[in-house]
Amino acid sequence: MTGRLDGKVALVTGAASGIGAAHVRVFAANGAKVVAADIQDDKGQALIREIADKGGEAVYVRLDVAQEREWLGAVAEAVRRFGKLTTLINNAGIANTQGVEAETLAGFNRVVSVDQTAVWLGMKAAIPEMRKAGGGAIVNISSVFGIIGSPGFIAYHGAKGAVRLMTKAAALEYAKQGIRVNSIHPGIIDTPIIGDSKITREAVEQFKLATPLGRMGRPEEIAHGSLFLCSDEASFITGAELVIDGGWTAQ
Ligand SMILES: NC(=O)c1ccc[n+]([C@@H]2O[C@H](COP(=O)([O-])OP(=O)(O)OC[C@H]3O[C@@H](n4cnc5c(N)ncnc54)[C@H](O)[C@@H]3O)[C@@H](O)[C@H]2O)c1
């Protein structure tokens, strides 16, 4: 296979489902070698078989993104299998639906550890290998909820807002080393996270109504944004935030 990511080796977190799985498919189809990382081993392995059947190159690694030691293992595995690491998609995430008073300290800390702290851990683990590779590209998956507020998602908003600014801070810190760092802000996308986070059917309908294009997005519509940002076509783009939300935040 040849494509816009020829020569790249990409580590994708939360790769077994939804937006992460779409990244694995789109990146492999465009010539990247992909390390798909998740905690859902069966789904991750099945995805790797699908990629191999289509002629792509991908491996699965188990990685709980909230555990620093597991990050070191995943990055080492990428280098062992494919010789280098050039690209990181910090995508793994969980949502909750608790407001300020209903949220618990444990619940808040859990969301922050997976959605925010893990994004920093991923950059910290991957950047030394990107430097060795002569440069790299990182995409941190935030949310429109990292830009605008809404009632009832206090920890998620905090974490996703932090990802937006950590992205800009890291972009400035590593610009001179040829490592580009950008964030993507999806609107409402049709993935299992919607059911898992107990967002009600009514809330989903409201999100759709708030979306000028009048529908939920598809996971590959987010992966195509990352495809561009991680390709050499985006060589002058760093510290940017790409909103992919059907027009939601343009209003
Ligand atoms: N779906 C949406 O509407 C939407 C909107 C904005 C942002 N996002 C963001 O997109 C990203 C992907 O979400 P999705 O919609 O594809 O959800 P999803 O639930 O389909 O996928 C999330 C994946 O992350 C994995 N994951 C969870 N905790 C993990 C951990 N500790 N370590 C490793 N992997 C872990 C899960 O196993 C799952 O495979 C998340 O960061 C989410 O916040 C989603």
Where along the chain do its domains lie?
Answer: 9-243
Write the pLDDT tens digit of every residue in 220-232. 999 999 999 999 9
Which atom in ligand 1 lies closest to the alpha carbon of residue 16? 39
Using DSSP's 3-state secondary structure scheme, residue 195 falls into helix
Residue-level pLDDT at 2: 59
Q: What is the side-by-side strand order in the sheet with 9-13?
A: 57-62, 33-38, 9-13, 87-90, 136-141, 179-186, 241-244
Q: How confident is the model at residue 87 (pLDDT cuts 50, 70, 90)?
A: very high
Ligand 1: which residues within 6 Å by Cβ?
13-14, 16-20, 38-40, 63-66, 91-95, 114, 141, 143, 186, 188-189, 191-193, 196
Superfamily of domain 9-243: NAD(P)-binding Rossmann-like Domain (3.40.50.720)
Write the pLDDT tens digit of every residue in 24-43. 999 999 999 999 999 999 99
Which atom in ligand 1 lies closest to the alpha carbon of residue 145? 6
Catalytic-residue membership of 156: yes
- The structure tokens listed for 233 are 């076509």
